[in-house]
Amino acid sequence: MTNPKQSALQEPRRLACSRCGTEFACDLSGSCWCAEEAARLPMPVEGEDCLCRECLRKAAAEAASAAD
């Protein structure tokens, strides 16, 4: 029989950034690196999945510039 606690733990997803293709991990437990970022964007943008740290920061800067 499978231990429910073990099956609830998931390995981090391996992703490729939707914009640049850089590979990174996404921890579905809620402790993903993106939660530590000051910038928050509505995700996902249509046709995109998660972004790497650099592309997220660039997109946030572009969004802030557009809002000014």
Average pLDDT by consecutive 10-residue portion of the chain (68 residues)? Answer: 52 88 83 74 70 88 82
User: How much is the pLDDT for 41?
Assistant: 62
Question: Quick one: pLDDT at residue 8?
Answer: 55
Phi, psi dihedrals of residue 43, rounded to the nearest 5°: -125, 150
How many whole angstroms separate alpha carbon 20 and alpha carbon 9? 29
Residue 36 has, within 13 A of its CA and on its CB side, a CA count of 7
Which of 15, 62, 14 minimizes the C-alpha distance to 41? 62
Beta strands in the chain (DSSP E): 13-16, 23-26
Residue boundaries of the structural domains of the chain: 9-67
What pLDDT score was predicted for residue 20?
A: 95
